[in-house]
Amino acid sequence: MTATDSPLYRPLRIRGLELRNRIVMSPMTRTHSPGGVPTEDVAQYYRRRAEGGTGLIVTEGIGIDHPSAIDHPDVPNLHDAAARDGWRRAVDQVHEAGGRIAPQLWHVGPLFGAMRQVDEVTPMRPSGVWGEPGVTSYPQEYVERAVAPTAAMTESDIRDVIAAYADAARIAADLGFDAIAIHGGHGYLLDSFLWSSTNLRDDAWGGDLLRRTAFPAAVVRAIREAIGDDLPIVYRFSQHKQQDFAARIAETPEELGTVLGALVDAGADVLDASSRRFDAPAFEGSDLSLAGWAKRTTGAVTMAVGCVGLGKSLRDGRLAGPTVESVDNIAELEQRLGADEFDLAAIGRLHLADPRIAETLRAGGPIPEFDRRVHEAVLT
């Protein structure tokens, strides 16, 4: 397609948010915020992507105000005064460049300790279990330590975490962010309530699949109440877990609709379908992607992510070496977007390799090569 008729460059309105195109910068953990405070370098890092034409920037995961939300001192937060000032600068820089930006609110849940061992903090786990280990890229030393059971979350724990999410969203809205994103995939806290391997509860927060959606839906509902009706909520979900890349929360489209329908009913607007390849079939008997099934089962706006312009997934790329070959699959992305299989295309690693990737693709330029040694080491 030419730049003028590519569906990637069609505008989109979601609640009060106007996007100039369908390209989203996918959230990527950077650990470049000393003591949790985003620096001017962080603000400029996001500004460059806005200047490069990206429609919506979703930030790296930002820890909510809870003791076990994050396990690395240089992951940013929103609740400290200095951190709020840093994010206000980042929001202003992105807006000056004509972009839009959403913070991704994050609680790592059962995976606390994967980035850095912190013995004095107990991870938040629905039932005190890490999950059945399977295909994972975590080192064996961490897995052996993590599988030791801990206490299950109490009703007080659950209330505290829901309140912390709502408080973070309220702060983000006050700082001028344009939407609120929630990390609800990959085996982190919200996802751990959905996964039967980590949620063994038999109370209101567990049991059958619908009851396992109660906690993430409660978080979405609390955030919606905190921010009002204007800002969209973007909810990232996944089938795979970092404990086991072969794990699934839904074996059928109907089960997927049960989970996602509850989140949409609670107030989520955009379903961010995190998969290892954006075009991978989600269920047998159909070539429809995970984002496609999310849209078909709920009618919500959906976003696809995974290996746009690249030949290997994040996990496979790390196992294979620092360099990931470029693959021109943009025509396939445009075809699916143009057919309304999904509505937004999230691009991760290529945003690190080329801050102006949105303009590069629009101009038909070559897809850049991603080198982890170069592009993950510093903010560029």
What is the pLDDT, as a whole number, of residue 312?
A: 65
Is 297 or 371 the better-scoring residue by pLDDT? Answer: 297
Q: What would the pLDDT profile of 217-243 be if each residue is shown by its tens digit?
A: 999 999 999 999 999 999 999 999 999
Q: Report which secondary-structure segment, H or E, holds 223.
A: helix 214-227
Read off the pLDDT band of 157 (50, 70, 90). very high
Q: What would the pLDDT profile of 278-290 be if each residue is shown by its tens digit?
A: 999 999 999 999 9
How far, in Å, CA of 8 to CA of 124, rounded?
A: 39
Beta bridge partners of 270: 234, 301
What is the pLDDT, as a whole number, of residue 379?
A: 87
How far, in Å, CA of 126 to CA of 117, rounded?
A: 20
What is the pLDDT, as a whole number, of residue 316?
A: 58
- Is residue 313 over pLDDT 70? no
- Is residue 317 over pLDDT 60? no
By three-state DSSP, how is residue 365 classified? coil
Is 313 or 98 the better-scoring residue by pLDDT? Answer: 98
Contact partners, residue 11, CB within 8 Å, separation at least 6? 18, 19, 20, 21
By three-state DSSP, how is residue 109 classified? helix
- Is residue 318 over pLDDT 70? no
By three-state DSSP, how is residue 103 classified? strand
Read off the pLDDT band of 211 (50, 70, 90). very high
Question: Hey, what amino acid is at 327?
Answer: V
Contact partners, residue 58, CB within 8 Å, separation at least 6? 24, 25, 26, 27, 101, 102, 103, 104, 181, 234, 272, 346
Q: What would the pLDDT profile of 20-44 be if each residue is shown by its tens digit?
A: 999 999 999 999 999 999 999 999 9
Fold category of 7-375 in CATH: TIM Barrel (3.20.20)
How far, in Å, CA of 231 to CA of 102, rounded?
A: 10
How far, in Å, CA of 240 to CA of 303, rounded?
A: 17
Question: How many Å from the N-terminal Cα to the C-terminal Cα in the chain?
Answer: 30
What is the pLDDT, as a whole number, of residue 120?
A: 87
What is the pLDDT, as a whole number, of residue 148?
A: 96
What are the extents of the domains in the chain?
A: 7-375
Read off the pLDDT band of 207 (50, 70, 90). very high
What is the b/e burial string over 149-184, where b = at least 16 CB atoms within 10 angstroms of the residue's CB?
A: ebebbeeebbeebbbbbbbbbbbbbebebbbbbbbb
Q: What would the pLDDT profile of 243-269 be if each residue is shown by its tens digit?
A: 999 999 999 999 999 999 999 999 999
Three-state DSSP string of 255-286: HHHHHHHHHHHHCCCEEEEECCCCCCECCCCC
Read off the pLDDT band of 2 (50, 70, 90). very low
Percent of the chain whose pLDDT exceeds 70: 96
What is the pLDDT, as a whole number, of residue 1?
A: 44
Provide DSSP, 283-345: STT---BHHHHHHHHH--EEEEES-TTBSS-HHHHHHH-SEE-B---HHHHHHHHHTTS-SEE
Q: List the catalytic residues.
A: 188
What is the pLDDT, as a whole number, of residue 370?
A: 82
Contact partners, residue 238, CB within 8 Å, separation at least 6? 185, 186, 191, 273, 274, 275
**pTM of the predicted model, to two decimals?**
0.96
Q: What would the pLDDT profile of 102-118 be if each residue is shown by its tens digit?
A: 999 999 999 999 999 99
Percent of the chain whose pLDDT exceeds 90: 89
What is the pLDDT, as a whole number, of residue 325?
A: 82
